[in-house]
Structure formats: C-alpha cells, structure tokens
Chain A
Amino acid sequence: MADVLLPNVTAELPLKTIDANLILYIILIIVVAYILTWLLSFVLMHISERIGWYRTSVTMIIPLLKLLVYLVALYYIIIAIIEPSLTQMIAFSGLFGAAIGFGLKDLFADIVGGVVIIFEKPYQIGDKVTIGDRYGEVTDIGIRATRIKTPADEQVSVPNFTIFAQPVTSGNAGDLAMMIVIDLFIHPDSDPEKAMKILKEALVTSKYVIISKKYPCTVLLDDFPFYKRIRAKGYVNDLRLEFEFKSEVTRRAWAEFRKAGIRPPAFVPPAGGDPAHAPGEADA
C-alpha cells in the first residue's frame, strides 16, 4: 500500500549497501548511546546524592537527557542507512510509524509513555510511588520502562505504558520530604488528650522529622466503638527513611503510653480494614 501511495519517494530512497562496516557502525552508535546514558545517570545520581535538599531536582533531568541521547543516536543510524532528503525523511517516518503501529505497538506505547512521563512528570526519579499494586522508590525512568525499588528491596520494572491504564500515586511529588501517617489505637477508657500530647511530642522530637509552614504536622483523634484512633501526620525529612520514621515514633510513643497508663485496645482493627488506611501505615 505504501508503494502505491509513495512510489516515487520510496523508489528514490538512496539506501546504502548494508555491509559489515555499516552494521558495526550502527552497533557502535548503540553502544556509545548506551554508555553515554549510563554515564550520565551515574554522574548525575552521584551528584544528586551529595547535594542534599535538591536531590530530586537533579535526578529529574536524567530521563530528559537519556531521551535526547537516544534521539540523536536514532538520527545518526537513519542517516547512516539512507541519507534522506526532507521529503524522504517525512515519508520514511510515515512508513516507520506504520511499521511500529502494526508490529511494535507495545514497545511504541511504552516509548510514548516514557516521553509523557518525562514532560508531564507524574513522578520523578527518587519519588515514592504506587503504580498499580506496586509501591516503592523510582530508581530509573528508561525509554521503555520505569524501575521501582520496593521496601523489600526488589527491583520491579513497570512498562511506561502503565501510566495510561492505571492510576499513579506519588507520595512526595518531586520533594525530598514526604508526609507520613502514623495510626496508634488505644483502649476506649484511656485518656485521649494525654495520648495525643505524647504522640505529638514523639513526632516533633523525632530525629527524622522536618517541620515548617510548608511541612506542618498534626495529631487527630477519632472515636470508634471498641477503640480510639490517634492519627499523627508529619513529614519525614528524607523519604528513604519513611519506615525508620514510623517505627521510631511508634516505639517511643508506646513506651510513654505505658508509663502514662494508656493501654492498647482489646480489639485491634486489621491493617487495611480502615477505609482511610494509606499504604505503609504503621499500626500498633
């Protein structure tokens, strides 16, 4: 069909002779592009780790640079094969697109997903995200897939196309600090005011917390038939320490609860049973 529509253009495409040298040249371009993207990622990740506050600002440019390198590599490969004019380039792009549409649509969708992620930034490298049923820190945004490191230290590769099909939740939206919700459940006869004071002080004196007008903290009380829930909301200063933060606040609060005669409830709600339960919440 393409031959019918564009007989002159395709007939005149100055295809070069494909020999061993050309294949080696193309392989070399791919290898150089791969090494360059790896090197860029490595250097920028290294810089971002040393930069403190602005870690995620540096990592957010990594996917963009990678895309740029791969586009340049693709350009060099194309001109190495056909040396096209502008008209031929447009025609070739149409044919190439059709080929992708029929044979490589999944790969193409992932690449488009990657481009959308780079420019729309639903998440960035270093963010804590939930994609589908997977939760973890984004360690790499590639052309085809996003890599996530789960709390169990597993590397999960999520195709970039997933952002079109499933909701994506970013816990910190590019910031290094992240809000953490900590729920403690106490016996209905225990003194809730004393419990709230203790939990608030456990939160604000934590070695992991960050508090300011931008990062406020609060403690809330909710009454249920068989227990009272004390909920603390505060920001951890580095999202990588979210579990340490939750654990430290919970442990110190309960140590003080015991001293103050505050008891746990006889009935403990199951994790996730509460509709307001966010992933990763610490229960006592």
Chain B
Amino acid sequence: MAADQKGARKGTVIGLEKEIQDITNTIERFGTGTPDHIAIISEPMGGRSTIVSEIRRLHGDKVHYLPLEFVISPDSLPDFSTIKEDIILIDNCRFLATRRIGGFDVLDAFLHAQISSKKLFITTWNAFAWQYLSAVMNIEAYFPVIVSIARMDTPVLKQMILSRYEPGEIQFLDEGATDRSMFYSLVHKNVHLPLTKKDISIPWIKSNFTVMLRGMPRKKHIQVSIEDVIFEKINRIARGNPGVALLLWESSLNENTISLASIREIPYDIDLDTNESFILTIILSMKSLHEKDLSAIAGSEMDIQRVLYRLVQQRVVRDDAGYYSIPPFALGPVIEYLKKTRRLW
C-alpha cells in the first residue's frame, strides 16, 4: 500500500518523540559503569514495534536485535556474553515467563544474566504481562529506565494517520454530522505519582471551551470539522490504541474517502466463567500463544479445548492454525471486561 510506504518514510514516530528521546539519552549515557537497563511497555498494538524500528534505525550499528517468537524454555535462552554488540535489544520479553509453577525460571535466569552483564539491555514488554510480573516479582527493580507508552489522544492520532498521505489526498464525507458540537473529548493524561518513579496514564475529559462559548450565548450554529468528528469516533472506539485506530481507519477507508457511517463499531457481549476469563487474561498478556502452551498453563483440571471453543465462539479470541490471539477490535472490550471482573489488577 502506498500509504504504508509513505508512513515508513515520514511520521512513523509521531506521538512517541519523548519516548524515543528518553531511550536515546540512556543509550548515549551508557559507558563503562553499571548500565541503566530499559523496559519499553505498552498494550498490544500500542506502539512498541514502532519504537523498536526507530531504535534500530537510529542505533542499528551498535544494537544486537533479538526478537522472541515463542515461549522460551530454559535451554533455549541465549548466552548473552557471546554477543559482540554492547547493546542488546530483546523484543517480546513476555515470552520469558508463563503463569504456571516453574514458569518463572527462565525469567529469573535472564534477569540474573542481565544484572551480571556489562551490556545494556533494551527490552519490550506487553503492559499486562508487565503488570503481573511487577505484582508477583517486582520486576521494575531490574530496570532503572521504564518507558511506558501511553494511550494516544485524538489530535496526535489524527496527525499520525494523516502524515501517511499527501495534503488533500483523503476526502472526508460530511453527512450532517458536523452540526454536532464537540463540547467534550476523551484524552489521556500522564500523571507522575509522588514518591515513585512511575508515570500513570489516566483518562481525562477535556472540555472544548471555545466551542462552548461560541455556541451557548447566541445559539450560534457551530461548525466543527468533519475530520475532527471522524478521528474522535475512531479514537473512542480504539480507546487510544494507535494500532487499533490505524486498522479501523484502513477498514473504514473506501478509495481515499471516509465518512462517519463507514466507521463501524463491533458490539461485544462478553460473559465468561472463571476458567475462560483466566485463559483470556493469559492470551491478552502474551498477545498470541499456541494451544500447547495454553494447555500447560491451564493444567489438568481445566478442559482447555472447551474453554478455547467458548472464547472463539464469543469472538473475543481467534484461532490462527493453533495460535490463539485477541482480534484487534476486541482488545478494548476485552480489557474493560477483565478489569471489571478483577482479572487485570
């Protein structure tokens, strides 16, 4: 697709400039002392791959890239001392641990190797796997630099998507929706917690005072850009997830034309028992997992095939030749459901 090529050429890190800068600063600081290992954390499709690509583009000659594709067994953990580069970028570190008895041994070995090494480790983590490991084994103690990718706000999302096209290339169809005033929009604010090193992202209602003041006293007809209304809807459905928003944009686009009506929201009515919720949490934390790994986590007490059938039947999980993952458009509803039922802490 032409837009992808353009996207690769320009604007790929829009909205992630601060994160890239923090990582670059840490890499440039890295010398002979104890390295400040980096953890890059985001929700599935939240922008980790974009950051990884950018790090490799900027520092490719100094970085050894090691993507993990599946659950790592103790004997398949690489010997990092044999790697000649001083910076090791390990992608998809969620595969270092599984939620079962004995499932933390590989991660323990990795963390021990990391803190014993003089090399700088840059690691990427699924946010939900990270939250679990943080609660269970205080994993953040091993990473002085934690880069959490927050959910994206609508103006940044609009800039990111439109940067893939030439000006005027996309036509926004107005179907009368611009008559609606946009008094409020949902944004995500990064808040620094006192006495901790953590930034947390909280949803925030932003009032569009200009629109309010213009509209209220004189009952003036308010004209809001159809572009803004369309991107507001896309971001609301995607819940600030740039990967999901981009997919929704592409699926709603018809020959470079988009309208509000073409942006479809898939309704989900999720109703799960304890086993199903547990397995869904595991799949969410691992992004994609093979049935045999899920079976090992479920143990003998659980009928994993029945559980997976139920999850697929409710459309919250899809089966790709034995690998189970959550469809992009189901991510938001699944996360909300699991938070409500206390599966995500």
Binding site for B on A (CB under 8 A): 51-53, 176-177, 198, 201-202, 204-205, 207-208, 210-212, 215, 237-238, 241, 244, 248, 251-253, 256
Residue pair B101, A207 in contact (C-beta under 8 Å)? no
Q: For A208, what are the chain B residues with a Cβ–Cβ distance below 8 Å?
A: 274
Q: For A256, what are the chain B residues with a Cβ–Cβ distance below 8 Å?
A: 101-102
Q: State A207–B275 Cα separation when bound (angstroms).
A: 7
Residue pair A207, B278 in contact (C-beta under 8 Å)? yes
For B102, give the chain A residue with the smallest CB separation.
A201
Residue pair B342, A198 in contact (C-beta under 8 Å)? no
Q: State A202–B136 Cα separation when bound (angstroms).
A: 12
For A199, give the chain B residue with the smallest CB separation.
B101
Q: When the two chains form the complex, which single residue of B102, B136, B274 contacts A207, counting CB atoms closer than 8 Å?
A: B274
Task: Report B101-145 CB contacts with A as 1/0, cut-off 8 Å.
Answer: 111100000000000000000000000000000011000000000
Q: Closest approach, in angstroms, between the C-beta of B116 and any C-beta of chain A?
A: 21
Q: Is B18 an interface residue (CB 8 A)?
A: no
Task: Report B226-255 CB contacts with A as 1/0, cut-off 8 Å.
Answer: 000000000000000000000000000000
Q: Closest approach, in angstroms, between the C-beta of B282 and any C-beta of chain A?
A: 9
Q: Is B301 an interface residue (CB 8 A)?
A: yes
Q: State A228–B299 Cα separation when bound (angstroms).
A: 27
Q: When the two chains form the complex, which single residue of B100, B274, B340, B345 contacts A205, counting CB atoms closer than 8 Å?
A: B100
Q: For B277, what are the chain A residues with a Cβ–Cβ distance below 8 Å?
A: 207
Residue pair A212, B135 in contact (C-beta under 8 Å)? yes
Known: A53-B340, A248-B301, A251-B301. A204 touches B345 (CB 8 A): no
Q: Is B341 an interface residue (CB 8 A)?
A: yes
Residue pair B299, A252 in contact (C-beta under 8 Å)? yes
Residue pair B345, A252 in contact (C-beta under 8 Å)? no
Residue pair A176, B274 in contact (C-beta under 8 Å)? no
Within 8 A of A (CB), among B41-88: none
Additional A-B contacts beyond A177-B342, A201-B103, A207-B274 (15; CB < 8 A) = A52-B339, A52-B340, A52-B342, A53-B340, A176-B342, A201-B100, A204-B136, A207-B275, A207-B277, A207-B278, A210-B345, A238-B342, A252-B101, A252-B299, A256-B101
For B345, give the chain A residue with the smallest CB separation.
A212
Q: Closest approach, in angstroms, between the C-beta of A86 and any C-beta of chain B?
A: 49
Q: State A251–B341 Cα separation when bound (angstroms).
A: 24
Residue pair A211, B342 in contact (C-beta under 8 Å)? no
Within 8 A of A (CB), among B174-206: none
Q: For A198, what are the chain B residues with a Cβ–Cβ distance below 8 Å?
A: 101
Q: Closest approach, in angstroms, between the C-beta of B13 and any C-beta of chain A?
A: 33
Residue pair A211, B135 in contact (C-beta under 8 Å)? yes
Q: For B299, what are the chain A residues with a Cβ–Cβ distance below 8 Å?
A: 252
Tell me which of A52, A241, A256 has the highest count of chain B C-beta atoms within 10 A of its own C-beta: A52
